[in-house]
Amino acid sequence: MQSYSQDLRDRVLRALARGDRPTAIAARFEVSREWVYDVKNRFEKEGVRHRLPVGGYRVSRVADKESLIRGWIKERKDLTLAELCERLTEQGVTLTPSALWHQLDKWGLRFKKNPARQRARTRGRRQRAGGMERQSARA
């Protein structure tokens, strides 16, 4: 949803300055009464007439720790996300495992289970034996 125009904000503030009631202003300009109060309070407290910025680029809290994290993973490949989060907390950065995973994914770091760590395969039926063994069983 688009934010209201600056012109509308200015008209609402002028109406408030004239002494019009917020409920009447909301009805006249077809906006919510709550929005009129928000504009009024923001102008009174901060002196700001314009809208708040929406969205934008956010810098990762662990962007500067990339080499450190890569070193930890290279040193010990079986680190879990929770263990990485604990180590980062010791460094002064608090993150949830899911937030850390999003950053690791951006860096192209993947955690893949393998036979040395168990559960490399899906649960269920075991895989068949290799090709040579399979052929000898038929003969």
Q: Model confidence over 2-36: pLDDT tens digits? A: 789 999 999 999 999 999 999 999 999 999 999 99
- Amino acid, single-letter form, for residue 92: G
Domain locations in the chain as residue ranges: 6-46, 63-110
The amino acid present at 105, given as its one-letter code, is: D
**Beta carbons of 113 and 107 less than 8 angstroms apart:** no
Of 120, 85, 86, residue with least CA distance to 104: 85
What is the band of 121 on the pLDDT scale with cuts at 50, 70, 90? low
- The radius of gyration computed from the CA coordinates of the chain, to the nearest angstrom, equals 29
Instruction: Give the DSSP letter string of 79-121.
Output: --HHHHHHHHHHTT----HHHHHHHHHHHT------GGGS--S
In the chain, the amino acid numbered 60 is S
Going by the DSSP 8-state scheme, the letter that residue 95 receives in this structure is -
pLDDT in tens, 45-91: 999 898 877 777 778 888 899 999 999 988 988 888 999 999 999 99
Alpha-carbon 139 to chain mean position = 58
Burial of 36 (0-12, 13-18, 19+ CB in 10 A): buried
